[in-house]
Structure 1
Amino acid sequence: MPDRPSLLILSFSPIRSDPRVLKQVQLFAPLYDVTTCGFGGAPDGVVEHIEIPGDARAWVDDRLAIATRRYETAYWNIKAVTEAKAKLTGRTFDGILANDLNAVPLALWLEPRSGVHGDLHEFAPKEKDDDLRWRLTVAPFMRWLCRHYLKQLTSITTVARGIADQYEADYSVTVGVVTNAAPYSDRRPTPVHEPIRLIHSAAGQRYRKLEAFIEAMKDAPPNVTLDMIVMPHEPDYVDELKRMGKDVPGLTFREPVPYAQLVDTLAEYDVSMTFLPPTNFNLAHALPNKFFEAVQARLGLIIGPSPEMVSILTQYGLGAIVPDFEVESLRTVIRELTPDKVASWKQAADAAAKDLSAEAQQATWKTAIENLLGSPSARRD
């Protein structure tokens, strides 16, 4: 359609492997002329992809500018920003979907005809608030970005209600929610295995305290096993975990799989353990991909008392809630697993799969971009 509005999806991430951004591409490429700008190769379905060099860091390198609070200088000296700006200068788009706070100032600088929608994947001012140095140096920069740019956005979304509420309270903006739900998968629950098969898939980062799963399995009953898929974000930590778990009965480390294969891989199991100690603000309000991927794989769930997950799990009866983040409490829940209990959770996941799919969530994005660019159906009429 020659009259389709143009939409730039801007993300300082490898878009082909970024689940949230890839969902945006898949949603909007059939409706608009979508150009993407990010790391790595072009995602399928776009009219053009503008690649940012892989060695261009998307984070602040100008420590002097940060230390002296020359935040505008610090932002425009970010290598990925300068690379993207050079490639996008002179280009005009009808609308821009900017992913994460670090893409927002550049998107606004490009002055698209109809405005910018910002999709904020975390609460940026508290992203690493467990780190004192980060709180003292980077957090003020993030707060400055929020104060100066969020009110210039036409619309905003984020991943969970608690994070949206914090943005609204701190910066007087209206924020919608699009969860990290996985695309709907047409499948049925598998019978519960004997022994019951548990799975935990996570980024290998020390602040996630993945050693809790290893400790919990040291005294696990023989009717359960646990496989861990740990991405090597911090290779030394992942190696340390593997040494800790080497002689633990029933515990296996499994190699990571491509995202496109993840739900099929999870479906080989019975229960996903999505247990995230609240070591920082964003983890306290976590509603992660893995929660929704487990539902699409038709697994039961074991979670900690994370309020965003508790609300949905309770509504749909998807699994068990560990009352705190202590290893002994997690171990108790594992000991209480029975095939009948797990089978009921898997059936509940099957009943909830459509409600909790990406397709059900994306209406908020679709409305926001239609408000920028107009409705595709209206253009056809």
Structure 2
Amino acid sequence: MTRILCISLSPIRRDARVLRQISVLRELGDVVTVGYDEQPDGVIEHIRVPDDRLSLPQTPGGVLNLGLRRFSAVELAAPGVSYALEQLRGREFDLVVANDARVLGLAFEVAGDAPVWADMHEWAPEERTHVLSWRLLVAPFMVHLCRKYLPRAAAVTTVGGEIAELYQRDFGVTPQVMRNAAPFADLNPSEMVAGRIRLVHSGGAVHGRNLEAMIDAVKELDDRFSLDLYLVPAADGGKYLGSLKERAGGDPRVVFHEPVAPSMLPATLNAYDVGVFWIPPVHTNARLTLPNKLFDYVQGRLALAIGPTIEMERVVREHELGVISAGFDVQSCIESLRALTPDDIMRFKRASDASAEELSFEHEGAAALAMLRTVLSAS
């Protein structure tokens, strides 16, 4: 049986992209995972990295080496990486999967002669460039890892065509696009409720995603509109989520729910009318994002309301899924919603229904499976 190692220094049970990735890997062999939190379903073994073992070299020595640009000295020095390496010493695998640039050094250290699939979820050099310490210390390290290891990878994937072009431009590799599409859900568009337009948003309660604009827009719109939020608290202990609840000010039309598991999300979203997401281009990954939630909204058979974000706009226009605001400010968001009629929304919902199979993970997964079979046959 083919032995596959999947490394993702994330809480894998809540990481929708990695869970979908595992579903592909399981068709090829036995899967061992390395990551935070509990064991994901369907794998034969999970090496759980303690939560306090961070995924970057955020130790005094590590920070010093980052500052001095001694990048080779810190490739395996992050506490989470070094812990994983100790657990994996002496193990052999037929395929190693590296999720994100930060584990590329670990993946190649463990792989030996086995091929490595590097899944670059986003544009690694600018993952958190809105944070000064990241920009000064970590971004150059990410560039080092990508420059050193991506040309050695047997396969490279990323989330969209625009980001794939950046990897080709800067690192000379040609990634295969593997979009963050959700598995196909066998649902029908829900009917409208007379006199109501039910907006919904799901995702992380993270700064920079313009969640404030969603709340402010609904408070200014007429009483037809409501907003339900399914938000995963950030690593700040829920502080930012708390600030959003304060901003809503007890408005009964803005309702906060507990997050739901990725597998349950389409059925939950199906009860609503319009999935909203207006993320401003605060950095490259935001400017070029093609996120899980767009595909979740399609599987939920929703109309979509988005901002003029390059990759998202391309999909929404191609499939006629919804409305695109002129900008990312509150008034632009309001104007894109205010003119919506029930007939418009039902037309967009039906377009989501018609596009659900094409925009499902089954298409992305089949392409990934074919790629990996080629990689394994060549190794």
Q: Same fold (TM over 0.5)?
A: yes
Aligned residue for 1:218, secondary structure, equals helix
Structure 1 residue aligned with 2:115: 115
SS in 2 for 1:211: helix
Instruction: Report whether the alignment pairs 1:308 with 2:287.
Output: no
Partner of 1:378: none
Q: What SS does the aligned partner of 2:208 have?
A: helix
- The code of the aligned residue for 1:7 comes to I
CA contact (8 A) 1:178 1:361 kept: yes
For residues 42 and 228 of structure 2, what CA distance do their matches in structure 1 show? 35
Question: For the residues of structure 2 that align with 1:175 and 1:278, how far apart are their CA atoms?
Answer: 23
Match of 2:279 in 1: 276
Task: Indicate yes or no: 2:204 matched with 1:203.
Answer: yes
Q: Distance in 1 between matches of 2:136 and 2:142?
A: 11
How far apart are the structure 2 equivalents of 1:50 and 1:158?
25
Q: Tell me by how many angstroms 1:92 deviates.
A: 0.8
SS at match of 1:206: coil
Q: Which moved more, 1:69-78 or 1:283-292?
A: 69-78
1:349 alignment partner in structure 2: 352
Over the residues paired in the alignment, what is the CA RMSD in angstroms? 1.5
Residue equivalent to 2:4:
7
Q: Displacement, 1:59?
A: 1.6
Aligned to 1:168: 168
CA distance in 2, matches of 1:20, 1:158: 11
Segment drifting more, 57-66 vs 157-166: 57-66
Establish whether residue 362 from structure 1 lines up as the match of residue 362 from structure 2: no
Which amino acid in structure 1 is aligned with residue 353 of structure 2?
Answer: D
Specify every segment of 5 or more residues in structure 1 that has no aligned partner in the other structure, as ranges. Answer: 376-381
Shift of the alpha carbon at 1:247? 4.1
Residues 1:229 and 2:230 aligned together: yes
- Which residue is 1:54 aligned to? 51
- Cα distance in 2 between the residues matched to 1:139 and 1:38: 22
| Pairing 1:1-381 to 2, within 5 Å after superposition | 4-61=1-58, 62-194=62-194, 195-233=196-234, 234=236, 235-248=238-251, 250-374=253-377
Q: AA paired with 1:34?
A: V
The answer (yes or no) to whether the contact 2:104–2:118 under 8 Å persists in 1 is yes
Find the aligned partners of 2:36 and 2:224 in 1 and give their Cα distance.
Answer: 44
Secondary structure of the residue aligned to 1:374 is: helix
CA contact (8 A) 2:187 2:267 kept: no
Q: Counterpart amino acid of 2:116?
A: V
Query: Relative to structure 2, which stretch is displaced further, 57-66 or 290-299?
Result: 57-66
Deviation at 1:361, TM superposition (A): 1.0
Structure 1 residue 80, shift from structure 2 partner: 0.7
Q: Per-residue CA shift, 1:141-184, capped at 9, x if unaligned?
A: 11111111111111100011111110110111111110000000
Identity %: 39
Indicate the SS of the match to 1:208: coil
User: Aligned equivalents of 1:240 and 1:39: distance in 2?
Assistant: 27
Task: Tell me the amino acid that sits aligned with residue 57 of structure 1.
Answer: L
When the two structures are superposed, what TM-score results if normalisation uses the length of structure 2?
Answer: 0.94
- Please tell me whether the aligned partners of residues 184 and 357 of structure 1 are also in contact (alpha carbons under 8 angstroms): yes
- Cα separation, partners in 2 of 1:206 and 1:43, compared to 1, 3 Å: closer
Separation in 2 of the partners of 1:217 and 1:135?
Answer: 35
Preserved contact between residue 218 and residue 249 of structure 1 (Cα < 8 Å):
no
Give the conservation status (yes or no) of the 8 Å contact 2:63–2:137: no
Alpha carbons 1:318, 1:346 under 8 Å: kept:
yes
Deviation at 1:249, TM superposition (A): 5.7
Aligned to 1:343, what secondary structure does the other structure show?
helix
Cα distance change on mapping 1:159 and 1:244 into 2, 3 Å? same
For residues 12 and 284 of structure 1, what CA distance do their matches in structure 2 show?
A: 24
1:108 CA drift (Å) = 0.9
- How far has the Cα of 1:335 moved from its partner? 1.0
Q: Which amino acid aligns with 1:229?
A: Y
Consecutive aligned runs of 4 or more in structure 1 exceeding 6 Å deviation: none
Partner deviation per Cα, 1:303-340 (whole Å, 9 max, x = no partner): 10001011111111100011111110101112111110
Letter in 2 for 1:82: S
Residue 121 (structure 1) shift: 0.8
Moved more, 64-73 or 229-238: 229-238
Q: CA deviation at 1:112?
A: 4.2
Deviations 1:32-90 (A, max 9, x none): 12222222222222222222222211122121111111112222210111111001110
Q: Secondary structure at the match of 1:25?
A: helix
Tell me if the contact between 2:210 and 2:278 (Cα under 8 Å) persists in the aligned partners.
no
Alignment correspondent of 1:379: none
